[in-house]
Amino acid sequence: MTDLRAMTSSYARPARPRDRGSIRPANLGVVLRILRDAGPRSRAQIATDTGLPKPTVTTLVAELVAAGLIREGPAQREGAVGRPGTLVRIDGGDLCGIGLEVSTSYVQVLALTLSGDSVYEHRVAVAVAEAGAEEVLDLTAREIQACLTAIDGDGIRPVGLTLALPGVIDSASGTVDYAPAIGWRGVAVADGLRRRLDRPVPGLVLENDAKLAAVAEHVQVQGSDVHDMVCITGERGIGAGIISDGRLLRGATGFAGEVGHMPLDPQRRPCVCGRRGCWEVMVGLDAILRQAGAGGDDPVLDPAIELEARLGELRRRALDGDGRTREALEQVAEDLGLGLALLADVLNPRVVVLGGYFTHIGDLMLDRVREVVRERVMASDAGRCEVRLSELGFAAAARGGAYLALDAVYQDPGAV
């Protein structure tokens, strides 16, 4: 099993290049990551960026071209005079990584090529806790099979599959130890999927959804000065993926980021974990729907309706001035800001990214959330912590899974 810390570190900080023949795979990976992170370059630029001798770069580029992972072509220069230079760029269109998420209310699969293009995406609504683990694994296996069939038809080969789930994950055994948001405990997911699939899937790995969402969000800001960030999943459960100094923070036993069960107000409603007033009871998806919904046959409370449609209805009501909806948004904004301020005091992130349902209606709360964070964080100017909305929405965890699957190529391009 490949270690997650080692895999994600290549997104944050490329390995140091060397030019000994015994570490050729490392040098191939360095060149490939430079092209991924910095964009198309000339061979001379690659040599400068990596510190490798130009003849070594020429050999490495030729090998990566032969493997179909990169291509060379003329630079596009508008209005330029003279012969255009030649640039090297990522190719790998016949390879993909598959990311799949089992959330509280849907199963989603996403396949990305090496260049980041989406070649397959599908999501199906399901009440996961109510359906039970066996039925959800049946559905998940069908979704994987449909993806594999589609990319096979396009001549695309998967290099790995990463499955995102909420809760505490034992990646080594492929087991969900405890996921209260979906009611799973001790579920052998990897073995269950392998039994259900009619073909082996390379590199099947399980990981926590918030951690994978953080991987995806960190890729989004690559090249900026953001190396410390917290990514909040806005689902029925609330989790955090933490990037510290450019690396995914896992903790001693992989439990880091389970912020949804911080008991912030013991007078609030009971939580699925057995305690009262956990943060996810205050700001999770169920909280906003419960507080804003009018009960009975209110469509925003109907799980049979697509979640985006229900959130769209909440947005419409808020913009129309509906008192119940606006009060719900105000309360969640207060409670969200309270929890984020605690995290900012402890972790001092440069950016906090709000994902999941927050990407659909979070702009209606964002000003107040930022005010609460500024009021409560001990450091001046909130420690320069910026709260922003994700641009990835509900696809973040699956996208992070696809990136993680693809990282096997960057670790050893020659093996592909």
pLDDT band of residue 156 (cuts 50, 70, 90) is: very high
Q: What is the pLDDT of residues 208-237, one digit of tens each?
A: 999 999 999 998 887 678 889 999 998 888
**Listed residue (33, 106, 100, 45) closest to 70, CA to CA:** 33
Edge-first strand order for the sheet with 184-188 is 168-170, 175-179, 184-188
Q: What is the pLDDT of residues 320-355, one digit of tens each?
A: 999 999 999 999 999 999 999 999 999 999 999 999
Other beta carbons within 10 angstroms of residue 119's beta carbon come to 17
Question: Which stretch of 24-28, 173-177, 260-264 has the lowest confidence by average pLDDT?
Answer: 24-28
Contacts of 153 (CB under 8 A, 6+ apart): none
Contacts of 338 (CB under 8 A, 6+ apart): 264, 372, 376
d(CA 302, CA 280): 20
d(CA 126, CA 102): 9
Other beta carbons within 10 angstroms of residue 85's beta carbon come to 13
pLDDT the model gives residue 305: 86
pLDDT the model gives residue 10: 46
pLDDT averaged over the chain? 88
- What residues pair up with 185 in beta bridges, in sequence order? 178
Q: What is the pLDDT of residues 11-38, one digit of tens each?
A: 434 445 554 544 788 889 889 988 887 8
Evaluate if residue 204 carries a pLDDT over 70.
yes
pLDDT the model gives residue 266: 80
pLDDT the model gives residue 341: 97
Q: What is the pLDDT of residues 231-243, one digit of tens each?
A: 999 888 899 999 9
Q: What is the mean pLDDT of residues 284-294?
A: 92
Strands 157-165 and 204-208, sheet pairing: parallel
Q: What is the mean pLDDT of residues 268-273?
A: 85
d(CA 24, CA 399): 29
Structural domains of the chain ordered from first start: 4-90 (1.10.10.10), 95-212+396-415 (3.30.420.40), 224-393 (3.30.420.40)
pLDDT the model gives residue 20: 53
Q: What is the mean pLDDT of residues 41-70?
A: 91
Other beta carbons within 10 angstroms of residue 89's beta carbon come to 15
pLDDT the model gives residue 9: 44
**Listed residue (223, 213, 225) closest to 164, CA to CA:** 213
pLDDT the model gives residue 3: 36
pLDDT band of residue 83 (cuts 50, 70, 90) is: low
Calculate the CA dihedral of residues 250, 253, 255, 256 and round it to 10 degrees: -40
pLDDT band of residue 75 (cuts 50, 70, 90) is: confident
Edge-first strand order for the sheet with 229-234 is 247-248, 238-244, 229-234, 351-354, 386-389
d(CA 52, CA 366): 46
- Structure-token pair, residue 127: 């009440």
Single-letter amino acid, residue 218: H
Question: Which stretch of 60-64, 187-191, 220-224, 328-332 has the lowest confidence by average pLDDT?
Answer: 220-224
